[in-house]
Each structure stands twice: as C-alpha cells, then as structure tokens.
Chains A and B, each alone.
Chain A
Amino acid sequence: MTDVNNWDNIEEFLLKECYDLASQYEKHDGARDILREKSKQIKIPNDYVPVQEDAVYRETEMQIVTEAIYGLTLEGFAASDNSVFRYAHKINNLPSSAEKEYILALLALRGGTNETHRLEALKHITIALGYSPDDPRYLALASVLQNVDM
C-alpha cells in the first residue's frame, strides 16, 4: 500500500467492502465462507480509508441553507439590518428550490418588517409553498405574514 491515491487501491477497497458486507448478512455457511475467502485475499491495512483524487467535495444545498439559518440565528433578534448577509452570495447561487425561497423570505424580513419587506417575504414563501405545499414551516410563516394586520 504505497500510494493511497492509487485507483487500484480504491477499487480493491470497494471490492473488499462489498465482500465484507455481503458475508456479514449471508446466512448460508458455504456462501459466507466463499465471501470471507474473497475478502481475505484483498490485503488492506486496518482502518485504511482511500481518498479518490477525483471524488471532489462540493457544498450541498442543505449545508448552505442550514449554515445560513444558523448565521441568521447568531445575528440575534435585533432591529432590521441592511448589512450584506454573510451567506447571501451562496444563497443567490443556489438553483431555485423551496429552501432557497424560504431563506430569501427570511432574508427579506432581515432587512426590515415593514410592508415592503413583508410583501417581499410573502412573495418568496408563496413560491416555496408552490414547491413544497405541506411544509409546516412555510405554512406557518405564510400565515404569520398574511395575518400581520388582523
């Protein structure tokens, strides 16, 4: 095991993992022995985890969204803020989705809670509900925004 980035090692790692998993769940003795023998023939050091050079890590939508929500939480519930939100760029670059619209609604209210912001937030949460009509968070926020003057 000289080169941990060698493709063959990753291939062998996947094969060994497959035989180990298969033997773990196989109930027939003969078949289990065959699977164990296959696994045993692949020599990989204990706790060896290969790294694929081309298996690139990319931030996922929910990672960005939950980070943004945490960012909003940390800002506290103070007066409206016109400063640029730390995650605004990442949020804007997300493809259109319910969660993106939900965050955009929260960001609209971050800028203030007057009528303009409320309507902007309502617009976004309505789009979010179009994607995911039963999400209890969107339903509650839409209800709050619609009933402000009642």
Chain B
Amino acid sequence: MDSKRVLYFLDLLANETIGHESELAEIYKRALEENDDVIHLMTLLSDYTYYKGIGNGLYENGKSMLDMIFSNPTNALNILPQLKQAHETIDNQVRVCDELMRSPFPFFETISVLKKKDTYSYMRSLRSIASGSVYLMMLYGGLGPIRNLTWDDTVGIQEMIYAINTKFLPALCSVKRPNYSWIIRRKKLGGRALFGGDSYFLNYANTRSVEILCSALHKEPIGTHAFLNIDAYETGECDVPFCWGIGNIISVSPDKAIGFLQKDVATKLRSPKGDELKRRVPAPFECAKQLSDGVKFCITPDELVLAMNQWQTGHEIEVRKRMHNCLFCGKYVNGNKLVCPSHFTTELR
C-alpha cells in the first residue's frame, strides 16, 4: 500500500488511541522505512560521498530531514515534501557531478557528490589521464612541458581532479604537435663520406605522405607513434623506410609515463662500447634501451639516428679491422693499416 496512505491512517489511528505509544511508534517507523522518498534519501546519504561546502551542506540537510521525520513521525506527511525536495536536490547535484567527471574537457566547477562505488574508477581514470597526458607531452614536446608537473597517488580525489583540470590537461593542450613525421632510411655509405658500409639517414616529411608511403610495409610498432620496417631490419635492405614515426621515442608505455615526473630521464644516449660493436646494430628501440643503460629515456629521432650510426659504422669498422679490409674502400690492406695508403698523400713522406 502507498506509505502516504498508511501514514494518513496511522495519524487517524493515533488520534483515536489512548496509550500504546510504543506500538504506534514502531508502526510509524516501519511505515517511514517503507516510504520511497525516505528510502531514496537514505540510499543517497549512505551510497554517496559528499565533498566540500556544497556537498556537506547537502548531506547535512538530508540527514536533518531524516532525523526530523523519524523523531516526529506524526508530522511525517508535512515533512515529506521537504524531504523529497532534499533528495531531488542531491539527485540533481549527482547528475551534474557525474556529467562533469565524464566530460572530456577541463572544468573548474566543484565536484560535491560522487557515488562511493564509482570513486575508485574515477581515481584510476584520473591517474590514467595524468599518465597519458605526460606521455603525449613528452612525445610531442620532450621534457620541457612536464618539468613542473607532480603527481601524488596518496592524495584524495579532489586533489586529483584539481591537478588534472588545472595542470595536466591545460599543459597537454598547449603542446605543439609536430606537423611532420620523421623517417629513417638505411643507405650505402662511401665516396667522400670516407667510411664504407651502411648508414642511417634522417628526413622529415608530411605526416600523411609518410603514412601513405609506409602503409604497405611489414611493420612492428616502436612505442605508440613509431614503426620499424621488419623486412628492412631483417634483410638489411637499403633505400626503403627503415623506421618512421612522429615525435620522440619514449622508453615506457603511456600508463607508466607518470613515473617520469620529477625523475632523472635520459635525453642523450652513450656511445656503444667495444663488446657491443662486435654485434650488429639492434632494432632501434633496443638500441636506445641498451645505450641508455636502463635509465628511463625520452630521445629525439636525431638522438636515435646518431646512436644507430655510431653502432652501425662502429660495427662495420670492427669487422673490417678484423678482416684487414680498408675502412674506406673495403680492399684488403697489409699489416695493421686501417686504410689503403692510396687514400692519403703527405709531403712528409
């Protein structure tokens, strides 16, 4: 039966009854607990978390409505409209806050109430956004845009919301996205470049034309925005795109990028050492990983091509030295000479 009717009949009964106060109070309590508006308000107060002045005000108002109706049940029919208004106000605020939390754009309004069971998901998504934005900022702008950013996993959701909306997303939106993609090709070295063997050449080109050029190649991703031509890597084929991409090369995936904040990050790679030069140059990402000695890195394609050339040419030099081949033209040379005597003339001879 409609609990309002029950309350109405209970009022009539109470007016005509002498004594039996405890029994009547129990029946009133049960009638109120079965009232939809009371149930809804009780659910809102127990299942939601209230934040800041607005949230606390809503909570206190709802709680005082429940206290009032339960302590004065004979007046319940008069209190119920106010109680209904209280839960409708909370409902409205829940909807507004939920929309804000799911909005893709930065916002500055106060989040006053959130469903308790959604709070963890919201906090996880905020952390992911922070990490993803740090990744994209490093990808497109290097370490500069993230220099002043900090993230603390131990703070509450309000601090996270503030950090995302006032620091991370505005910083991301102010990053300049490169208009051009980089493309590295392997080519034969020689002539007046002196050293023989292969070398890597860096170029920049319109992103769309690079995509079209490389669309049919057998590729493997290097991170999220770069690719390696598997066939060219395995066969050593020259003059075709070897690897290409947009922006920098970062040592971690987007979900781990938040670990770059306030940490030492390598932007330069060391030169390959003797033992390493005995092996052929590894795939680009592996090359960067080995030459950063396990330190997190964010390197430009310039830095990558430099490291790859040091390794590629260094390896070729090691092989030619071992085989007594001229470092320049590849012909056999006697003794410990590195190049054919014909490549140099000297007045001192």
Interface residues of A (CB under 8 A from B): 10-19, 21-26, 28, 30-35, 37-39, 41-42, 49-52, 54-57, 59-63, 66-67, 69-70, 72-77, 81, 99, 106, 109-110, 113-115, 118, 132, 134-137, 140-141, 143-144, 147-149
Q: How far is the CA of A28 from the CA of B124 in the complex (A)?
A: 8
Q: How far is the CA of A140 from the CA of B306 in the complex (A)?
A: 16
- CB–CB A137/B309 < 8 A: yes
Choose among A26, A39, A148 the residue that contacts B344 (Cβ–Cβ < 8 A).
A148
- CB–CB A73/B190 < 8 A: yes
- CB–CB A75/B224 < 8 A: no
- CB–CB B101/A136 < 8 A: no
Query: In the complex where A10-B177, A18-B136, A57-B180 touch, is A75 in contact with B172 (Cβ < 8 A)?
Result: no
Instruction: Offer 22 A-B interface pairs, CB within 8 angstroms, sorted by A.
Output: A17-B136, A21-B132, A21-B135, A22-B125, A22-B129, A22-B255, A28-B121, A30-B121, A41-B103, A51-B179, A55-B176, A60-B302, A72-B193, A73-B187, A73-B188, A110-B192, A115-B346, A134-B271, A136-B317, A136-B318, A137-B317, A140-B195
Q: What is the CB-to-nearest-CB distance from B259 to chain A, in angstroms, rounded to a whole number?
A: 13
Considering the complex of A and B, which 10 residue pairs feature the smallest CB-CB distances, nearest first? A30-B121, A136-B314, A31-B124, A22-B132, A134-B271, A25-B255, A62-B302, A22-B128, A72-B192, A72-B193
- CB–CB A149/B128 < 8 A: no
- CB–CB B310/A135 < 8 A: yes
- CB–CB B177/A76 < 8 A: no
B9 within 8 A of A: no
B20 within 8 A of A: no
Q: What is the CB-to-nearest-CB distance from B72 to chain A, in angstroms, rounded to a whole number?
A: 41
B251 within 8 A of A: no
Q: What is the CB-to-nearest-CB distance from B340 to chain A, in angstroms, rounded to a whole number?
A: 11
Q: How far is the CA of A10 from the CA of B317 in the complex (A)?
A: 47
Query: In the complex where A18-B129, A41-B104 touch, is A49 in contact with B201 (Cβ < 8 A)?
Result: no
- CB–CB B191/A34 < 8 A: no
For chain B, which range describes its interface: under 10, 10 to 19, 20 to 34, or 35 or more residues? 35 or more
Q: How far is the CA of A43 from the CA of B240 in the complex (A)?
A: 36
Interface of A, secondary structure class, is: helix
B263 within 8 A of A: no
Choose among A25, A70, A113, A144 the residue that contacts B254 (Cβ–Cβ < 8 A).
A25
Q: How far is the CA of A114 from the CA of B343 in the complex (A)?
A: 10
Residues of B within 8 A of A39 (CB): 104
Question: Considering only CB atoms, which chain B residue lies closest to A62 in the complex?
Answer: B302
B283 within 8 A of A: no
Q: How far is the CA of A99 from the CA of B23 in the complex (A)?
A: 95
B122 within 8 A of A: yes
Chain A CB within 10 A, most for which of B179, B200, B300, B303: B179
Query: In the complex where A77-B328, A110-B192 touch, is A52 in contact with B121 (Cβ < 8 A)?
Result: no
- CB–CB B349/A77 < 8 A: no
- Comparing B32-40, B83-91, B202-210, the segment that makes contact with chain A is B202-210
Q: What is the CB-to-nearest-CB distance from A144 to chain B, in angstroms, rounded to a whole number?
A: 5
Q: Give a binary string over B321-346; 1 marks a CB under 8 Å from any A CB, 0 the rest.
A: 00000011100000001110001111
- CB–CB B347/A114 < 8 A: yes
Residues of B within 8 A of A59 (CB): 204
- CB–CB A30/B104 < 8 A: no
Residues of A within 8 A of B310 (CB): 135-137
Q: What is the CB-to-nearest-CB distance from A128 to chain B, in angstroms, rounded to a whole number?
A: 12
Q: Give a binary string over B212-256; 1 marks a CB under 8 Å from any A CB, 0 the rest.
A: 000000000000100000000000000000000000000001110
